[in-house]
Amino acid sequence: MTHDVQIESTGHVLTITWTAPDRLNSLTEPMIAAAAEAIETVGDDVRCIVITGTGRAFGAGAALGDDFDGGDTLAAINRLVRAITGATVPVVAGVNGLAAGASVSVALAADLAVVTRSSYFLLAFVNIGLMPDGGATELVAASIGRARAMSMAMLGERLTAGDALAAGLVSLVVDDDAFDTELARVVDRVATGPTVALGLMKQAINATTIRTIGEALDRETAGQTALFDTHDSTEGGDAFTQKRAAKFEGR
């Protein structure tokens, strides 16, 4: 078992749980890779996949620690998003709190999202001189439109669970104390449904709404790789670790 992620199969459900609540479930490359492999190698008996977190966050995006490698982490996130969107069974995101950065992409790549009312979504890349990745440039826009996607990406402002539901970004918002019950209800409904039909529904709807997700991942990778070498990205990263406001210079 990879540190900070728990992967278990119960009945016909495969559950992937981020278990690093002390850092708001920020994602390391090994965590992401373990989740991707679990989905890619899922058994024929699995009829639903669940991704959720422990504590008060679904995920705070990539873990920007001393051993952070932007290229490796981005490749792992892209692999996970491809695995989620390409899975032949439904994937349910149990968003138990904050979803920021790449964790937004993971949540939105899922087919259904059950979200606590206290949760919020934040594309904070702009605050560190970077651009959204993990397919967010297509996943967000496909759900809530170009104008709202531009606002989330360029202004880096949080979108509450209620606003996310109203905008069509997520499937279901529930009171925090009802989250476990409602998530279990949705998962059970999917896991006992017509699996083949659900898989074909997913494939058809994705082909209509996020049909160029692969191209989006490639564009984001090229853009993000270039941004890693900019002054503003370095300044943004330094400001983040030093807990101060970044001073961008546009270069």
Decide: 129 and 226 in contact? Cβ < 8 Å: no
What is the Cα–Cα distance from 107 to 105, expressed in whole angstroms?
Answer: 5
What is the Cα–Cα distance from 29 to 51, expressed in whole angstroms?
Answer: 16
Decide: 212 and 230 in contact? Cβ < 8 Å: no
Average of pLDDT values for 121-132? 95
Q: 12-22: per-residue pLDDT in tens?
A: 999 999 999 99
In this structure, which CATH number among 3.30.497.10, 3.90.226.10, 1.20.910.10, 1.10.630.10 belongs to the domain 1-176+208-251? Answer: 3.90.226.10
Higher pLDDT: 68 or 38? It is 38
Higher pLDDT: 240 or 167? It is 167
What is the Cα–Cα distance from 112 to 220, expressed in whole angstroms?
Answer: 24
Q: 90-125: per-residue pLDDT in tens?
A: 999 999 999 999 999 999 999 999 999 999 999 999
* Angstrom distances, CA of residue 229 to CA of 14, 125, 242, 244: 39, 15, 19, 21
How confident is residue 1, by pLDDT bands cut at 50, 70 and 90? very low
How confident is residue 2, by pLDDT bands cut at 50, 70 and 90? low
Q: 42-74: per-residue pLDDT in tens?
A: 999 999 999 999 999 999 999 877 677 888 999
Q: 199-236: per-residue pLDDT in tens?
A: 999 999 999 999 999 999 999 999 999 999 999 999 99
3-class DSSP state for residue 72? Answer: helix
What is the pLDDT of the chain when averaged over all its residues? 95
| Domain boundary assignment for the chain | 1-176+208-251
What is the Cα–Cα distance from 231 to 247, expressed in whole angstroms?
Answer: 10
Q: How much is the pTM?
A: 0.95
